Structure 1
Amino acid sequence: MEHEGACGAVLTERLEKAISIAREVGAFVLEYVHSVQHIEAKSSPIDVVTEVDKEAQTRIVEELRRSFPEDTVWGEESQEPLEDFSHTWVIDPIDGTSNYIHGLPFYAVSIAYFLEGTPVLGVLYAPALQELFWALRGEGAFLNGKRITVSRTTLLHEAIVITGFPHTRRRFEVLAPIYGYILGECQALRSFGSAALGLAYVACGRCEGYLQLGVSFYDVAAGVCLVEEAKGVIRELSGRPWSYVSRSLCASNGHIDLTAIVRQVLPEEVVATLR
């Protein structure tokens, strides 16, 4: 029990620091929302990064390294791949950069902490919306200081489902039958352009599910912790357990099983590829 208490104190210290950093960097990001000067393409012309992303990441990384020199700190804009998930900070300085560039409010500073491969701490701050989400493994999930849980909706026709539309035609064509089914059966299908906020909205009960093909761990790590601590369920689209190597994600309130829809709509051989 003493060991558990010590571990809890370590994580609480990190949570408090992550919240402080997210607020400070969020204020910086919001200040420059209408002053973006330079936009670069990364993997494709629609996968972009700004000088604000880079400066935001620099500020987060420097503060975390100063506070916790024993931890690994890695950000989306880091050049080297991440291989160590043992005691590791994973940062997405602005999840929803395209929204940010266009002045849409759906973007967030995302900070997660992995312990032995599992995200055990997640902080999301959406500065344009003034919403701070955080979760700590075993302690629950919160929005602006109030505990949150997933919705109790059990019927698909009463549910709102969120997705992140794939950037490639091939992935969109794979998911198109699922989109068609959901559009015909649920109350609404939405895309906010931020995987982090999509998961946060599942966690706080605003929506019942989130699904995406072609997602990276840094986009969703904090959100995964939020959903699980809010009593939701995280899986790959195939229904297999999610991990940091997964490239698909399906989150739900635990009452509406979106992975069952995937298996119902798509051929078995296609489902098997949805890692």
Structure 2
Amino acid sequence: MNHLEIAQTMARLAGELIKSKMGSGFITEDKSSSFDVVTEVDKASELFIRNGILEQFPLHKFLGEEESFLNEKPLEEVLKGAAEEPYLWIVDPIDGTSNYVQGIPGFTVSIALACYGQLQLGVIYDPCADEMFWAEKGMGAFLNGRSIHVSPTNELGRSVVATGFPSNMEARRAVYEGLGRLIEKCRTIRSLGSAARHLAYVASGRLHAFWENGLNAWDIAAGVLIIQEAGGKVTDTKGNAYNLLTTNVVGSNGHLHEPVLHCL
């Protein structure tokens, strides 16, 4: 299998695994705070994806959310080193764990591949909706085999914008501030509980823009490439180009990018 095929296969199989465990009384633990939780299913999903990818590509590097949390090496140091890695897989085994714990549909599996720090492919799978979003650099973006594009909407007043509420309280306060300004300008705001899902929805035209502070590469890397390949734009909240170290992110259909940035 090639890189895209293994990413899609592992995302789908991991999605089936986590969906089968939904509501089964799994163990839930706090990570950095009571706002940030992990389950034994997150860990099992990540190990499953890791083993599947490295079995096919044993010389590749792997960065998973749960492994990174336990790693003594600072994440920033790992991501700076990504610029010298020919192949780095970046994986969130369950994006939207709080949804998952509560039995709310909308969690996703997110898998990206970066080569020398540049995103080459991204796959986001929503097992409850059976929706597979993916993109390869220079090849366009797709949902279940159908080409997707961002919305042509160019009026902020007609837009549906999404955000999330990070576990880090400083980042959460920054989201609140942006929310206070944007809610008066756009049609409505949604929070669906998964950054990857938000980004995929921007790429497919279901949402017009998304912003959130305090994210990490595994939350957004796959979705960033999918938006870009769908004709949209992704930067940090100050308008700087996205890179793997970006934590405060804005993704949009492009037309609304500057108006959203202005509000933030």
- 2:24 aligns to what? 35
Report the identity percentage.
39
Q: How does 1:41-120 map to 2 (within 5 A)?
A: 41-78=30-67, 79-80=70-71, 81=75, 82-83=78-79, 84-85=81-82, 86=85, 87-120=87-120
* Structure 1: 5+ residue stretches without partners: 1-11, 267-275
**Partner residue, 2:250:** 250
Question: Per-residue displacement from partner, 1:108-162 (whole Å, max 9, x unpaired)?
Answer: 1111000111221001111011111111001011001100000000001110001
For the 8 Å contact 1:178–1:262, the answer to whether it is kept is no
3-state secondary structure, aligned to 1:184 = coil
SS of the residue 1:43 aligns to: strand
- 1:51-103 CA deviation, whole Å, 9 max, x = no partner? 11111111100011110012101211112243442210011000000001111
- Number of the residue aligned with 1:139: 139
2: CA distance, partners of 1:175 / 1:28: 32
For residues 142-221 of structure 1, what are the structure 2 equivalents within 5 Å?
Answer: 142-221=142-221
Matched residue of 2:23: which SS?
coil
Partners in 1 of 2:112 and 2:61 — Cα distance? 12
Cα displacement (A) at 1:29: 0.7
Counterpart of 1:161 in structure 2: which amino acid? Answer: V
Query: Which has the bigger relative contact order, CA under 8 A and spacing at least 6?
Result: 2
Whether the aligned pair in 2 keeps the contact of 1:90 and 1:112 (CA below 8 Å) is yes
Larger Rg: 1
Aligned to 2:5: 16
TM-superposed deviation, 1:21: 1.1
TM-score for the superposition, normalised by structure 1: 0.88
In structure 2, the CA distance between the partners of 1:146 and 1:43, relative to structure 1 (3 Å rule), is: same
Cα separation, 2, equivalents of 1:91 and 1:177: 29
Aligned length: 253
CA contact (8 A) 2:26 2:41 kept: no
1:227 shift after superposition: 0.4
For 2:108 and 2:175, locate their aligned partners in 1 and report how far apart those are by CA, in whole Å: 26
Calculate the TM-score normalised by the size of structure 2: 0.91
State the SS of the aligned residue for 2:50: helix
8 Å contact 1:36–1:52 — kept in the other structure?
no
Unaligned 5+ residue runs, structure 2? none
Tell me which residue corresponds to 1:127: 127
RMSD over aligned Cα atoms: 1.5
Letter of the structure 2 residue corresponding to residue 46 of structure 1: F
SS state at 2:44 partner: helix
